[in-house]
Amino acid sequence: MGEDSSVIRSFAHRDFLAAFFVVVNSLSWYFPLFALVTEMVKVPNFEYFTVLALFGVHYATVIASAFVGILLVPRIMSRIGLLRLWMIVGVASTLLVSTIETNNQIWLFSTVIALGISLGLGFPTCLAYFADFGITAQKGRIGGLTYCIAGLGIFSIGLLTILTGTLLENVAILAVWRLIGLLVFVIVQPHDAEPKREVEMSYRKILNDRSFLLYLVPWLMFGLVNYLEGPKLRSLNPEIFNLVPVAEFGVGSIVALVAGFFSDMIGRKRVVMFGFIMLGVGYAVLGLSPTNTVSLYFYVAVDGVAWGILALMFFLILWGELAENRVKGKYYFLGVLPFLISSYLEHIAAPFVLSINEYAAFSFASFFLFVAVIPLMYAPETLPQKNIELRRLRNYLESARKLKDKYPEK
């Protein structure tokens, strides 16, 4: 009860409420918007290299602007100032999508560049800001609730844009939602604007950190498997695999809520390993019978479970805890790179992946996901051991009390 009330008190804190809302708003704004633009790029049936160039420019802009955003804080502006600027750019770039001309490649490239800036400029800083609030022992619960609401937001807004149909209406919904995020952030007026005193650390030192690499490598393997197998999965049964976004953001958001709770009880590492194993099992079943309808639905369900667990851990929790008192923005920047790189490699590899036998493709995917668990076995637990032991002791005492109440001494 005490722990639950402390979680509620975290949401009552002005600075945490601002961090919570900006994360929810940012995730539930960008994913539906990028899905919309992706469909627009594919509709004109551009040549293979034109599509690669468009997405390449977009992801390069995301990475470059994220790097610049980290440099700006605190050298030129405050963290709060950057986040406000970031959301203003987001509103403007969303409105720009409504003027997109798919037959005008210069205008199309300009739009994907603007979208890249609107995501990258403040995303690592946003996640680092979120990581600065909340008690470590309850970060799982808080993160789970945050991702749950964000995932349901992605699902709801995505569904709304599908139902409305027209580009202008879809863009208006997303622009208004981003504007609401900006207005709430301004109205809440977070006063703890600057991060705690953090130790500066170079990107090279972070990449040489064994603990960081033991989590980064499995995350990279997950991204590669998840995106490189995408074209092959969609080619098997497009109707069933249209449910994948529903599973990832609908089912996944609920799973993230449960996973966050358990990660505070048994630790982050075990929960992450469970996510990899579940997805590995899903691909193993597909490898045995890739055209069987039951196998396909089983994979979709398992994918939603795995995505909910891994997105929660790798987007909201792990990098901040590994950073400790060091600059968190750099950790989140490097932690998001595998997701961006894998997303782009999907477009590069799509024609080649489709030519691979499905039995071999899914069997290899299952193998690499199980191999990804090996580094995690040697990775440190980011939840302090004393928190796990205290929780076990508290549960033991609670069980003993209930047993005593049930069998009172005569």
DSSP 136: G
- State phi, psi for 355 to the nearest 5 degrees: -85, -10
Whether 1-188 shares its CATH topology with 203-394 is answered yes
Distance CA 99, CA 66 (A): 25
Residue 46 has a pLDDT of 74
- State phi, psi for 13 to the nearest 5 degrees: -75, 130
Cα→Cα distances 317→221, 356, 402, Å = 19, 36, 34
Does the reported pTM lie above 0.85?
Answer: yes
Distance CA 207, CA 212 (A): 7
Helix, strand, or coil here: 355?
coil
DSSP 383: S
Query: How large is the angle between the packed helices 2-12 and 14-42, nearest 10 degrees?
Result: 70
Residue 155 has a pLDDT of 86
pLDDT in tens, 70-91: 998 878 888 899 999 999 999 9
Residue ranges of the chain with per-residue pLDDT less than 70: 1-12, 42-45, 102, 134-137, 165, 191-197, 385-410
Joined together, the tokens standing for residue 332 give: 């989140």
Closest to 344 in 3D by CA, of 224, 220, 213, 221: 224
Cα→Cα distances 216→5, 144, 177, 224, 408, Å = 34, 20, 32, 12, 52
Q: Which residues of 180-209 are buried (b: 16+ CB within 10 A; e: fewer)?
A: ebbebbeebebebeebeebeeeeeeebeeb
Joined together, the tokens standing for residue 76 give: 């030129």
Residue 404 has a pLDDT of 57
Instruction: Provide CATH code, domain 203-394.
Output: 1.20.1250.20
Residue 326, strand partner residues: 199
Residue 235 has a pLDDT of 85
Joined together, the tokens standing for residue 333 give: 């920047």
CB 156 within 8 A of CB 27: no
**Domain limits, the chain:** 1-188, 203-394
Closest to 195 in 3D by CA, of 313, 82, 90: 82
Closest to 351 in 3D by CA, of 1, 61, 105, 48: 48
Distance CA 140, CA 255 (A): 12
Query: Per the omega criterion (within 30 degrees of 0), is the bond before 195 cis?
Result: no
How many other C-beta atoms are found inside a 10 Å radius of the C-beta of residue 60? 15
How many other C-beta atoms are found inside a 10 Å radius of the C-beta of residue 113? 19
Q: How many CA atoms lie within 13 A of 303 on its CB side?
A: 29
Residue 1 has a pLDDT of 47
Distance CA 362, CA 291 (A): 12
Instruction: Provide CATH code, domain 1-188.
Output: 1.20.1250.20
Residue 15 has a pLDDT of 78
